[in-house]
Amino acid sequence: MLALALVLVAGLLRVRDGRQGGARPAPTPAAPRTLVQGRALAIADGDSFDLRTSDRRRVSVRLFGIDAPEGSQACGRESRDALKREIRGRPLELRVVETDQYGRLVGDLYRDGAWINEALVSQGWAWHYTRYSDHPALARAEREARAARRGLWRDPHPTP
């Protein structure tokens, strides 16, 4: 009965995304405070990568509350390289917030206690993704990066 209720609720949670591509289902909540540990494998761009978990599984990860340029956009390669510098070859801890419609784990990433999501915004290599997050630290990090014209903010009108 509970499974049927969850299926019905998931169906009701479909939202319309304002981006090109139309309707997308709302992300599905993961177990509260799920913690995944591992190391980065392939890094796709400045906000997503594959993680080899401590139990040897390969999972796709999307960083929560931020949005980085795609590889073909201005600063896309620099954003990806910034994420590489932060995480490549180091033990990581992902605090999962949800699982998105593509099956990726979406969460807050930490390396040695440092919050990587915030670091990328602070360095100017990602935007605070206000559609999904109202975290004051991310908002402050973006304001400061804009004011200092760091990273993608060197362009007066970077395209998210």
pLDDT digits (tens, 9 = 90+) for 127-148: 999 888 989 999 999 999 999 9
Give residues with Cβ within 8 angstroms of 86, minimum separation 6.
Answer: 111, 114, 116, 119, 120
- Terminal CA-to-CA distance of the chain, rounded, Å? 42
Tell me, yes or no, if 88 is annotated catalytic. Answer: no
Tell me, yes or no, if 104 is annotated catalytic. Answer: yes
pLDDT value at position 13? 34
Question: Which residue, 54, 44, 55, 20, is CA-closest to 104?
Answer: 44
Catalytic residue among 70, 78, 93, 98: 70
The total of other beta-carbon atoms located within 10 Å of residue 137's CB is 15
Tell me, yes or no, if 62 is annotated catalytic. Answer: yes
**Portion of the chain with pLDDT greater than 90, in percent:** 67
Residue pLDDT, tens place only, 14-51: 332 333 333 333 344 444 568 999 999 999 999 999 99
Cα 3 to Cα 16, 34, 119, 141, distances in angstroms: 24, 20, 38, 40
pLDDT value at position 32? 54
Q: Quote the DSSP letter at residue 139.
A: H
